[in-house]
Amino acid sequence: MAKMANRSETPIKLDTADEVCRPFGFLHGERAINPKTNAEVIIKGVAPDPYDKNHKKVLWYEIIHPKTTGVVCCYEGATNLREAGFIAA
């Protein structure tokens, strides 16, 4: 488990276990490219999506950029990031 904060600075407990992350397309610590922004990201782990009314679990990542260090995001509406178009960096 790891703890980080999302953009609204809400603390998030992330499950980083391989068996938990694998179904979402990537493992904790892997790097990928976001298909919408072309930004490189680091996969951080799985946690509920606070924006989804059912709080479904999603894969969270950190954008590699000096202004967003330590902030995690999730790709809204996507369960598996590879299926959503993310590719390994």
| 36-64: pLDDT as tens digits | 889 999 999 999 988 788 989 999 999 88
Cα separations in angstroms, 71 against 3, 7, 8, 53: 10, 6, 9, 22
Instruction: Kindly report which listed range (1-5, 28-32, 47-51, 56-60) carries the lowest average pLDDT score.
Output: 1-5
Residues 12, 52: Cα–Cα separation, whole Å: 15
Find the mean pLDDT for residues 65-84.
82
Distance between terminal CA atoms of the chain?
24
- β-strand partners of 32: 41, 88
**pLDDT given for residue 2 in this prediction:** 53
Residues 86, 2: Cα–Cα separation, whole Å: 22
**pLDDT given for residue 67 in this prediction:** 74
Q: Residue 10: pLDDT above 80?
A: no
